[in-house]
Amino acid sequence: MTRNKQGVYLVYKSIGPSSFACVAQMQRLLQADKAGHLGTLDPFAEGLLPIFLNRATRMIPYVENGTKTYRALAALGLSSESLDVNGRLSAASGVSFDKFYELFHGRAEKVVQALQDFVGVNRQEIPLYSAKKVKGKKMYEYARRQIDLEKQYKTITVEKVQLNGWQSYISAAELRDLPYAEAESLYNRRKALLQQQQAWMRDGLFPAAQAKLADKYLPEYLAPAEIAAWSKVPCDVYLDIEFTVSKGAFIRALVHELGRRLQTGACTLRLLRTRIGEMQLEQANSELKWQELAAAGQAEPLSLRRLLAAYPIFNCDAESLRAFVCGRLLTFYPKNAAERPEFSTEYLQKKITNANLSSIIKQGGLLVALKDDEVVGMLRLAVQDSATAAQAEPVYVLKAERMLLSHEDI
């Protein structure tokens, strides 16, 4: 194992392969001993997949709880047993013109309000077609065998929801400018024509998002969608929605719930993840690009220091590094409890940048340890009671929480 193969590699996972397949490919490509990833993407989903190699896998517990941002292409008037395009589809209800007019006339206020109602803490039903394990088996295994299973729930947080756009048989301008009767007639005529053709209009549907990724060989995501190739029936209304959520949230379940609240039905046709914590899709490379960079010896990971930038930093000297990797504690006394200035709080605060002691303790005491600009690991700042009356104030102790390096490395 070589030092330069440690790190986080941001991959744009395309539609089709599983997250596990992408991890295995990167592990083989860079000949890594260990590999892991953040945030599983279903095969039908695409976007940002951070892959951690070798010692960097030890950092996963400290970054996996970051918020995630997704962009979903959702269909109203369409239902699916798996809540996405891969399941058995139906459009029995559809979206009548009356319902369409009610939801989208003006500025689509009712749709926007329904989305805003998700913001906050939610109790979400876990989809049957998911990898959540119950009694040792994944839920989708029960669903495929048509075995009844008690509903499972989890608590999630939705931080932000935004409606980027929508499209139907008539445009927002036509809906705004035409008299009600003319708009209804046009809506129904186009709907009948497209249902007869068994296809959806291909022009003008969701222009490709501009990701500034021209040199990374990434596909155009949320490009004009050839919906007929995905779904067995045409849909009535398409929504382009952006969700920012906590770890473990199921976007297709949120889309399904939106359809229930709007009384139209809804399912997810396409799903793109654009952000996890501080990691952005714009930093990612496609699988093909990573292959080319590896062949040229230019496959450079995202720096661990950048990944953990939100944490306070403890700068180790050579002596403290040796102490930490051997599992020993470093103790710092308040100034009036010890005469030696190197044990004063001022000394500690000089070594811990970007925060003071009280804020570190309030944040749970986690720090990033650096030596020569390389991340050593995660440390915890603990407060212990003084051992003697002469030391009436607390004693600050730094101890190893999770180390990247070991004594063999130094």
Catalytic residues: 42
Which ranges of 43-202 does DSSP label H, i.e. alpha helix? 60-63, 97-104, 109-116, 139-144, 172-177, 180-197
Return the closest-CA partner of residue 42 out of 162, 101, 127: 127
Percent helix, strand and coil across the chain, each to the nearest 5: 35, 30, 40
Is 125 within 8 Å of 199 (Cβ atoms)?
no
Q: Which residue has the tokens 């186009």?
A: 190
Q: For 6, what's the count of Cα atoms within 13 Å in the CB-facing half-sphere?
A: 17
Alpha-carbon gap, residue 68 to 410, rounded angstroms: 37
Is 206 within 8 Å of 224 (Cβ atoms)?
yes
Is 57 within 8 Å of 34 (Cβ atoms)?
yes
Q: How far is CA 176 from the centre of its chain?
A: 37
Q: CA dist 17 to 9, 113, 119, 320, Å? A: 17, 35, 31, 45
Alpha-carbon gap, residue 312 to 275, rounded angstroms: 22
| Residues contacting 14, CB < 8 A, separation 6+ | 46, 219, 286, 287
Is 313 within 8 Å of 370 (Cβ atoms)?
yes
Q: CA dist 399 to 43, 329, 360, Å? A: 41, 5, 14
